[in-house]
Structure 1
Amino acid sequence: MRHLITLLSILLLNSVVYAKEINISGLITDESGEGIPGVMIFEKANSSHGTTTTFSGKYQFSVDEESIVVIRYIGYQTIEMKAKDLPSSIKLELEAQELEAIEIVGTRSQNRTVTETPVAIDVIDLENVTSATGQLDMNQLLQYVAPSFNAQRQSGADGSDHVDPATLRGLGPDQTLVLINGKRRHQSSLVNLIGTRGRGNTGTDLNAIPMAAIERIEILRDGASAQYGSDAIAGVINLVLKKNTDGVAVNLGTGINSEGDGETANVDVNYGTELGEGGFINVTGQYQHRGRTNRVPQNQEVFRTYVGDALSTGYGGFVNAAMPIADKTEVYAFGGASFRHGESYAWTREADDDRNIPEIYPNGFDPNIISDITDYSLSAGVKTELKGWKVDLNNTFGHNEFKYSVDQTLNASLGVNSPTSFYSGKHYLSQNVTGLGASKFYSGFLNGLNVAFGSEFRIDTYGIGAGEEGSYKDYSNGQVPGGAQGFPGFRPKNEIDAHRTNIAFYLDVETDITDKWMIAVAGRYENYSDFGGTFNGKIASRYEFSKAFAIRGAVSTGFRAPSLAQKHYSSIFTDVVGGETMEKVIAPNDSELAKALGMPELKQEKAFNASLGFTANLLDGLSLTVDGYYVAIDDRIVLTGAFTDDDPDIGDELKKLNVSAAQFFTNALDTRTVGLDVVLAYTHHINLHTFTTSIAGNINRMELGDITTNEKLAGKEDIYFGEREQMFLLASAPNTKFNFSLNHSYKKLSSMIRLNHFSSVELMDWDGGIDHYGSRMTTDIAMTYSFTPKLKWTLGGNNIFNVYPSKQDPLSTETGGYWDPVQMGFNGAYFYTKFGINF
């Protein structure tokens, strides 16, 4: 820590030397001449050096006179100009004047800015955020900049060690819709199963998209099934890709935890150039490496040699391009591919374990589970204008695949002749969406009317491929455990190649009744080939009492059909319950095991959302937004608890399979979630210093209804979805989470300090006791120094005071360590450095 402070002091001293700077100031207005608050003005070569306009639209800060200054505000055209050439008054123009106008998530009107939407939207400028943080992956970055977003890194949870289960407002990972450039992104093929939040759910692998390819992230914190798709119950995350054409930007970064492990390395390159006349192409390449961490308890009886983050190495690329081909017509395409190799240790097999062969591993062994994740996508389309209607025809395809293998293992039923590595099989998911949408703005109706309608046709595919025979077979007829230890392979009878189709039609109407009051109404009909049809509606409104204060609210319905993975996933896997290793089976609801228990067929989840809030500009530079919400979900799909081999209905069947327990996907209960999002931000200028502070918080409470079973399962509610599983669901998000950040810029130096508060979390351990994790506060810092307009250096740390969750008994936790994955994780302090270079 002493060395870090010394380095930061040197940077501060150097920041005032040899600076050829000027103080720029001015007024930024809209087309009517009114000042626009919250406009971002920053140095292009150092995006963390900048400011925002006050309530009256004024700004000031210091910058090198030859530097390029960027003026950016969502919904308006971006301006780039040399600092010395900036006029004192700048009028921004709406992007709706251009064919490639931005469509803000939450509204299909291209004449509306993000501050005018009737629902809560977070807009995260990636370049600004990533320049002041050491997070390498998207989920962990959003965990600390968006309070309603939660993601915990898992340990010993198979594939979930490499795709963090992420939630919005504490709801399921599969209840948030992810878009890229407004187009639906495919989900991961992974089903979260072992020791994780969101167990029984599939989510979207945000880490497959290079952060350097993204200009901004829009998080719509409101139910949007009626607008974007039936699975947008919790909200929508829209990733908007870069389209700049100003050459090459390179970022190099490395870091390490205070314990000397978890080393990271990151290299990303972004290149943009013009394509034809009026077009562009932006290409990003990325390499990332994250080393293992190990927080195994010391001087105590433990079940694992390794407890911590998995090893992960990945690379990939993304491209975003568009080119006009005729007057008012352009073609566009975006997409990319990534590959990620991960390794995570399973629970230790001791030397005298009947799952070990001492002649192979005289001291026992730690199976190493290897996940090779391939992800690729391509979206292409054409935009044009026909008789005033903006038309967009698009096709988007995406594919995600996990291939598993395991080494440092054996199949005990093969004895001393057992191989020590096996291929365990794969699962995959693909999605193809063809969509046609049209929108038109009528300026002569009241104070403006926007009409949008369209249709989408989607094909989903989900499959499982078997592993090699030795990975799953028992060659001893039940005398010793068979299959690969750590990860028994998928069997031929697990293989599936399932398909379904979905067709949707939507209508979206927004009108400004007056210049202060707007109303938006949306409706969407969807029909699934395996679940039938559903209609969802939404009505939202915003009333602006003045430029300083407005209220907003919405009510909507939602629907989510069971995923193909929830319908068709089946496997036999190894789980560890209180230190005892056992084989479990997950059986689909049309299996004989499920029928023996009278397990009902899966049905859709149904939701109702309501929100009400306000936005206020209290003083020059001071803004406040407060949004309350209520989300009711009926027939929520979960993974049941374990029915064991002593169950009178299926015990004999489990023994025939040589497994100890069975789990199923089921519509188990109703949930009710209420919460409050608060964001307070203030920007202040003192001479050449600019201070920006913000407090962003989420208060979230979920209540669970009665467990729903059938007549045959009456009395088995504690197994069906017992208190332990219920507490996992409730722990999807802390009850409160707040971030306080202070940013300061002065000449070539910018700095950030952020405090992150997580409230307490409770889980039930394997012994039936309650593990209480007390509230925690972590501290992050970062400082960036711009040597030249094209070279900057960042030095920082996350959780610099090395805060850990409350310790628990490692013999009873899900991970076998002192902590389960809660709050901010259990890796402690992390320090990093980064260089940014522009050519």
Structure 2
Amino acid sequence: MKQLSLLKICTITFVFLLPIGILAQTIKGKLTDSSGLGLPYMNVVEKGNTSNGLVSDDNGNFSITVKKLPTTLVISSMGFETKSIQVTNNSFLTIVVKEDNALEEVVVVGSRNSNRTVVDTPVPVDIIDVQKLAAQNGKVEINDILQFAAPSFNATKQSGSDGADHIVPASLRGLGPDQTLVLINGKRRHQSSLVNIFGTRGRGNSGTDLNAIPASAIKRIEVLRDGASAQYGSDAIAGVINIVLKDNTDGITAGITYGAYSTNVGSGWAEETGETLWNVNGKNRLDGKNKRFDGETVKLDLNFGAKINDKGGFVNFTTEFLSKNNSLRPGFSWRKGYGSAGLDGFSFMVNSIIPLNDNTEVYAFGGRNYRDTNAYAFSRDSFDEGDNRSVPSIYPNGFTPRITSIITDSSVSTGLKHTLDNGWKVDFNNTYGINKFHYFIKDTNNASLGSASPIDFDAGGHSLSQNTTGLDFSKYYEEYAKGINFAFGLEYRTENFQILSGEEASYGLYDTNGVIITNPAIQTVATDSNGNELPGGSQGFPGYSPDNVVDRSRTNIGLYFDTEVNITDNFLINAALRYEDYSDFGNTFNYKLASRFKVNDNLSFRGSVSSGFRAPSLAQVYYNLKFTNIVAGKSVPSLLSANNSIVTKAFGIGALQEEKALNTSIGFTYKKNGFTATIDAYSIAVDDRIILTDNFTDQTILEPLNVDTAQFFANGVDTKTTGVDIVLNYATTIGADNKLNIGLIGNLNKLEIKEVHNGNLNPYTFFSGFSQAYLEAAAPDYKFGLNLGYTRKKFNANVTLTKFSEVQLQDFQWVDAPPTTKAEADALYLTATDTYNSLITTDLSLSYKFSDKISLTLGANNLFNVYPTPQFDGWTDQGGLADSVQMGSDGAYYFTRISFNL
């Protein structure tokens, strides 16, 4: 019935907007820089008629309607020369605009891109030149690039956190990974099928896998740091990240990047616990090898672009190969494999536009990412050391399992854009994406099978697919006020989440005859020589069983209206409304108001207020797993119960509902003589945030399930996040050949847990200080980055200093001995608080352009090999001497890159 309603809405909308306007002349074209890259947000105005104007789109394209020809168009933008073009016919125009030395817009740290922040928008938007950053800092993945480029973006690499080792959770303004919407070329991107479970940022969340998008395919990234649910729908509480793909048509560009981490961890990490953990020469206890470097990384990238016709059509193709070895860092005896995961990956991405005529174009983009990843789980001691998880005949000295995965991420988006004779623009589009995550557990065993156990297991996996169909209309009316833009449309989305079972031995518990136990009443669990029952399933990560299998779908339809009114030349108001109806939990209505007032050409004030929401993900509703948690070095059979199960209801956990938000922000922008500043304060209140609870131990419910503990997803807490984003930049030219750029980005942030919705359940079991600390650690108190860039002719030097705030976590003592009263919790805080001090890292890069065809970059990230403050009490959640924090735990990284332009 909903599909029929959607068809009726589309039909009525098309009939309503049949061309009824008068004939006019439409001029189309593209604005580019001297290298052929499209220039976004350039002003295009008809000379003598200043009310008839617009700005170029994300790719530099524009389409302007004039009453008659010939006429003259005036092209202008801060940081570029003003250019006048006489137009005598409606042929497609390609206009090259040169940069001006007086750069007036904010520049991203580490780049000289003049379009860093759009200072005239009513909300803060960062524009990040990915290619210049990737060439300068040697970072090969999107999360790493954004970590040091966007003021309130944080991505923390995990270790010993199962799937989170392979897909890094990232957040904006300290909110959850799933509270930031990701777009590709303005179209909604699907999320990962992974839900973060164990000791990691974003516990209980499913985010978008940004690293599945090859960096070499990206022209730029736009980060909208403001709530935008009324404009884009679910997930946009914290903001929107829009990834714009390359559209250049100037041939082939390619690059080779090589880098490696130093294994010299310094004397502060050695011998501190009374046992040999690591020595300063880089000898680790997993393979016993002396290595000066590890985590060796190689990236090969190739981009090719070509014109399709003389009307602005193009096709751009990118392919990228990435290989990274594991890094290994100090850990305790139960964590010999602490360090970052390795991977081998291959990606390709295509972006294209084919104009059919002056008013119609077809576009298509998409690609596929494949990754074979490899991370170490917690170590298992030998049987002689009292650990019956090790089969003596297979691993007489114990073993360290490897959690490997095959991750495939595919997407395709197609659409048709058409301009009606009356000036209305129509965009009909469809986007499909799917993420598959398949576990393979290696160098392990199923102890209950004894010597008959395999050592490699197919543990099953999960997938999430999403299909979005959209129909959008917009028109700019220059004759009203100082210009009014109307936009409205609808979106229909379907989603499907699946869990696939693994092979029997990966999840099975076997009896004394080697037969999987299906009837405990008549079968006896296999035991060790001491008479203790042997655990089943693959050690490191248990396989999904047929009982875990899920195949669930849902639909939703959204309707929106958006308008932007230039009341005067200096006063702008933006308003948006959106209605969404989900098949599984109901409907929601959201709004947004934003405004900008220009005091003069240099100073503007801006602000916004909006409501927001995030629908519970299918993974949060249906994910379930029986697994083995490691507490004080011992196995604890545990259950993560699906939200819709009778077990969850028995504990008093209700059905998941949407998260609800209220966003407010206020700020100002200033620009003069090469200096630009944007400062924006924000407040984000989120009610009913979905969390993963701590472990419940009610054996009256759990004993029949053969588990000791259970966890659940719940609308558990209300939070309030307040902060300030700061972006400052000064760019100048000294003499004829010297360019200097000084940039500062910063974020001050505070997250408060206002209320915990534990109902009648014990608050220290429902969401303890341990879990609250992980929620708060995703919102660090501050992060500041200072960039100094110098260019002289063919030489460029960049230095970036990044200041990370103190982070406090609660260690695993909370899990080993959970408190049940406030007095017990207060006492535990005194011993279980791990403090990681505020520290500064230094990045350096030196580049030389030998010719127009080839350039070389040498550099180091974390040049002085700074590590987080080590913890020596053995209770870290991830088993290393430090848990995962903002700056990472891999130390200094040295790299070189050769870039080609063929």
Q: Return the offset for 1:305.
A: 1.1
Match of 1:507 among 555, 561, 570: 561
- 1:144 aligned onto 2:137: no
1:643 maps to what in 2?
Answer: 696
Q: How many angstroms apart in 2 are the aligned matches of 1:93 and 1:463? A: 58
1:228 maps to what in 2?
Answer: 232
| Correspondence 1:261-340 to 2 at 5 A | 261-278=294-311, 279-297=313-331, 302-340=333-371
Q: Return the offset for 1:654.
A: 2.7
- 1:736 aligned onto 2:782: yes
Per-residue CA distance 1:173-214 (angstroms, 9 max, x = gap): 000000000000000000011110000000001111111111
Q: Return the offset for 1:777.
A: 0.2
Q: Return the offset for 1:689.
A: 0.4
Q: Return the offset for 1:157.
A: 1.0
- 1:393 aligned onto 2:424: no
Are the equivalent residues in 2 in contact too, given 1:121–1:220 (CA < 8 A)? yes
Match of 2:846 among 768, 783, 792: 783
Per-residue CA distance 1:433-474 (angstroms, 9 max, x = gap): 000001000000000000000000000100101111111111
CA RMSD in angstroms comes to 2.4
- Work out the percentage of aligned pairs sharing the same amino acid: 48
Amino acid at match of 2:676: S
- 1:118 aligned onto 2:122: yes
Amino acid at match of 2:675: L
- Where 2:294 maps in the other structure, the secondary structure is coil
1:372 maps to what in 2?
Answer: 406
- Where 1:261 maps in the other structure, the secondary structure is strand
Q: How many angstroms apart in 1 are the aligned matches of 2:307 and 2:883? A: 49
Per-residue CA distance 1:323-356 (angstroms, 9 max, x = gap): 1112310000000001100011111110121111
Are the equivalent residues in 1 in contact too, given 2:846–2:859 (CA < 8 A)? yes
Distance change in 2, residues 1:98/1:219 (3 Å) = farther
Q: How many angstroms apart in 2 are the aligned matches of 1:499 and 1:253? A: 41
Per-residue CA distance 1:398-442 (angstroms, 9 max, x = gap): 000001111111111111111111110010000000000010000
- 1:470 aligned onto 2:505: yes
Q: How many angstroms apart in 2 are the aligned matches of 1:115 and 1:146? A: 16
Q: How many angstroms apart in 1 are the aligned matches of 2:92 and 2:330? A: 57
Match of 1:192 among 180, 192, 196: 196
- 1:542 aligned onto 2:596: yes
Per-residue CA distance 1:505-544 (angstroms, 9 max, x = gap): 0000111000000000000000000111110000000000
Are the equivalent residues in 1 in contact too, given 2:32–2:60 (CA < 8 A)? no
Are the equivalent residues in 1 in contact too, given 2:353–2:363 (CA < 8 A)? yes
2:893 maps to what in 1?
Answer: 830
Larger CA deviation: 765-774 vs 688-697:
765-774
2:640 maps to what in 1?
Answer: 586
- 1:168 aligned onto 2:172: yes
Larger CA deviation: 465-474 vs 476-485:
476-485
- 1:691 aligned onto 2:740: yes
2:3 maps to what in 1?
Answer: none
Larger CA deviation: 210-219 vs 585-594:
585-594
- Where 1:128 maps in the other structure, the secondary structure is helix
2:675 maps to what in 1?
Answer: 622
1:241 maps to what in 2?
Answer: 245
Are the equivalent residues in 1 in contact too, given 2:118–2:124 (CA < 8 A)? no
Q: How many angstroms apart in 1 are the aligned matches of 2:94 and 2:877? A: 49
Q: How many angstroms apart in 2 are the aligned matches of 1:624 and 1:331? A: 39
Amino acid at match of 2:227: G
Amino acid at match of 1:676: V
Match of 1:606 among 660, 667, 670: 660
Runs of 4+ deviating beyond 6 Å: 39-45, 72-75, 96-101
Distance change in 2, residues 1:681/1:244 (3 Å) = same
Q: Return the offset for 1:779.
A: 0.2
Q: Return the offset for 1:125.
A: 1.1
Gaps of 5+ in 2: 1-30, 43-55, 63-79, 96-116, 264-292, 512-523, 526-532, 814-827
Q: Return the offset for 1:142.
A: 0.5
Amino acid at match of 2:329: R
1:756 maps to what in 2?
Answer: 802
Q: How many angstroms apart in 1 are the aligned matches of 2:638 and 2:362? A: 51
Match of 2:884 among 801, 805, 821: 821
- 1:567 aligned onto 2:621: yes
Q: Return the offset for 1:89.
A: 6.0
Amino acid at match of 1:705: K
2:20 maps to what in 1?
Answer: none
- Where 1:116 maps in the other structure, the secondary structure is coil
Q: How many angstroms apart in 2 are the aligned matches of 1:345 and 1:581? A: 17
Q: How many angstroms apart in 1 are the aligned matches of 2:631 and 2:195? A: 20
1:181 maps to what in 2?
Answer: 185
Are the equivalent residues in 2 in contact too, given 1:516–1:544 (CA < 8 A)? yes
- Where 1:263 maps in the other structure, the secondary structure is strand
Distance change in 2, residues 1:433/1:43 (3 Å) = closer
Q: How many angstroms apart in 1 are the aligned matches of 2:86 and 2:602? A: 22
Q: Return the offset for 1:74.
A: 6.7
Amino acid at match of 1:270: N
Q: Return the offset for 1:590.
A: 2.2
Distance change in 2, residues 1:88/1:333 (3 Å) = closer
Q: Return the offset for 1:792.
A: 0.3
Are the equivalent residues in 2 in contact too, given 1:253–1:833 (CA < 8 A)? yes
Are the equivalent residues in 1 in contact too, given 2:58–2:244 (CA < 8 A)? no
- 1:429 aligned onto 2:464: yes
Q: How many angstroms apart in 2 are the aligned matches of 1:93 and 1:652? A: 83
Q: How many angstroms apart in 2 are the aligned matches of 1:783 and 1:801? A: 16
Q: How many angstroms apart in 2 are the aligned matches of 1:158 and 1:327? A: 52
| Correspondence 1:94-113 to 2 at 5 A | none
Q: How many angstroms apart in 1 are the aligned matches of 2:482 and 2:808? A: 51
Task: Provide the TM-score with structure 1 as the length reference.
Answer: 0.86
Distance change in 2, residues 1:92/1:539 (3 Å) = farther
Amino acid at match of 2:714: T
Amino acid at match of 2:323: H
- Where 2:850 maps in the other structure, the secondary structure is strand
Gaps of 5+ in 1: 1-38, 48-52, 54-71, 79-86, 102-112
- Where 2:136 maps in the other structure, the secondary structure is coil
Per-residue CA distance 1:679-725 (angstroms, 9 max, x = gap): 110011111100001010000001002211233x2xx1111001110
Amino acid at match of 1:439: S
Amino acid at match of 1:211: A
Per-residue CA distance 1:35-90 (angstroms, 9 max, x = gap): xxxx9978789x9xxxxx9xxxxxxxxxxxxxxxxxx9978569xxxxxxxx9864
- 1:706 aligned onto 2:755: yes
Amino acid at match of 2:307: E
Are the equivalent residues in 1 in contact too, given 2:333–2:379 (CA < 8 A)? no
Q: Return the offset for 1:92.
A: 9.0
2:516 maps to what in 1?
Answer: none
- Where 2:148 maps in the other structure, the secondary structure is helix
| Correspondence 1:649-728 to 2 at 5 A | 651-687=699-735, 688-711=737-760, 713=761, 716-728=762-774
Per-residue CA distance 1:10-55 (angstroms, 9 max, x = gap): xxxxxxxxxxxxxxxxxxxxxxxxxxxxx9978789x9xxxxx9xx
Q: How many angstroms apart in 2 are the aligned matches of 1:470 and 1:669? A: 39
Are the equivalent residues in 1 in contact too, given 2:542–2:626 (CA < 8 A)? yes
Are the equivalent residues in 2 in contact too, given 1:805–1:823 (CA < 8 A)? no
1:442 maps to what in 2?
Answer: 477
Per-residue CA distance 1:256-300 (angstroms, 9 max, x = gap): 111100100000100000113421000000000111011124xxx
- 1:359 aligned onto 2:393: yes
Q: Return the offset for 1:576.
A: 2.0
Q: How many angstroms apart in 1 are the aligned matches of 2:644 and 2:363? A: 43
- Where 1:435 maps in the other structure, the secondary structure is strand
1:344 maps to what in 2?
Answer: 375
